[in-house]
Amino acid sequence: MYELIQVSENCYYVQSPAKIGIVRCGGDRVCLIDSGNDKDAGKKVKRLLEANGWTLQAIYNTHSHADHIGGNQYLQKQTGCPAYAPGIERDFTEHPVLEPSFLFGANPPKDLRHKFMMAQPSDVLPLTEECLPEGMTCLPLPGHSFDMVGFRTADDVVYLADCLSGKETLEKYQISFLVDVQAYLDTLEAIQNLDARLFIPSHAEPTEEIGPLARYNAEKVREIADTILQICREPETSENILKRLFEIYQLTMNFEQYVLVGSTVRSYLTWLKEQGRLQARFEENRLVWEA
């Protein structure tokens, strides 16, 4: 874990729970694509940089989930480097309590105020094309998060953040976290048509052919949607739909899974309602959903 792997003349990734990209920007200067899940990850990355004689020029965050921004604060304090984040992801990165608050839908209990759900705050600037190193471009990848992005480097390596999961991860967790189902399907459709020297997803193995894995992820989304429609053949509340999904996919409920899967299921309900495949109504002071 935290092994440095070179994939092109100037591009690397750190093998970690959420892969961290390192791109050489000329001379001894490098930038990071994400920073790991906490202070310890930041320390390990800093040691890698020092071992190679590299100076950290900037951190580019793909999105604001804690496992991608957790090392920001430590690395900024140690190096003084700027960090950048896209759109609304910047607000969540500067004010991490927004993440568990958004997921829980209210002031989050202490059970959700830990490093896996809420990173330490960091100062971030707006991510624009002008702040990127020469030859690097930004790829919009919404769906998993509001304004998530990936990056294509001058070496034609594409860092894909969390826009898809590996097959083993999907088989284990079944329901991937999403904020916008349609945006996610559109992102998967778009990346199927991309060409690159190498694709590096944060939670899957690097590959030269991203199409098959993108299609597999899209199939899983449609499977989950169909399962929800089957559950809703009779009127059901969102809590009962969540309970049934946990039973069907043999998942274990805890606070983290309750908010992550629960938020995702409500995103599916919104999408299916907007498609006209579900209807919602209030019955005996309960919101119920029916196919």
For residue 10, tell me if it sits in a domain: yes
Q: What is the pLDDT of residue 234?
A: 97
Cα 17 to Cα 34, 56, 195, 196, 245: the distances in Å are 12, 21, 26, 23, 26
Q: What is the DSSP letter of 130?
A: G
Q: What is the CATH number of the domain that holds 104?
A: 3.60.15.10
For residue 247, tell me if it sits in a domain: no
For residue 222, tell me if it sits in a domain: no
For residue 266, tell me if it sits in a domain: no
Please tell me the distance from the alpha carbon of residue 35 to that of residue 84, in angstroms, as a whole number: 11
For residue 53, tell me if it sits in a domain: yes
Inter-residue contact 264 to 206 (CB < 8 Å): no
Write out the chain's pLDDT in tens, 291 residues: 899 999 999 999 999 999 999 999 999 999 999 999 999 999 999 999 999 999 999 999 999 999 999 999 999 999 999 999 999 999 999 999 999 999 999 999 999 999 999 999 999 999 999 999 999 999 999 999 999 999 999 999 999 999 999 999 999 999 999 999 999 999 999 999 999 999 999 999 999 999 999 999 999 999 999 999 999 999 999 999 999 999 999 999 999 999 999 999 999 999 999 999 999 999 999 999 999
For residue 23, tell me if it sits in a domain: yes
This prediction has a pTM of: 0.97
Please tell me the distance from the alpha carbon of residue 132 to that of residue 141, in angstroms, as a whole number: 17
Show the domain range for 150. 3-162
Number of structural domains in the chain: 1
Q: What is the pLDDT of residue 1?
A: 87
For residue 93, tell me if it sits in a domain: yes
For residue 96, tell me if it sits in a domain: yes
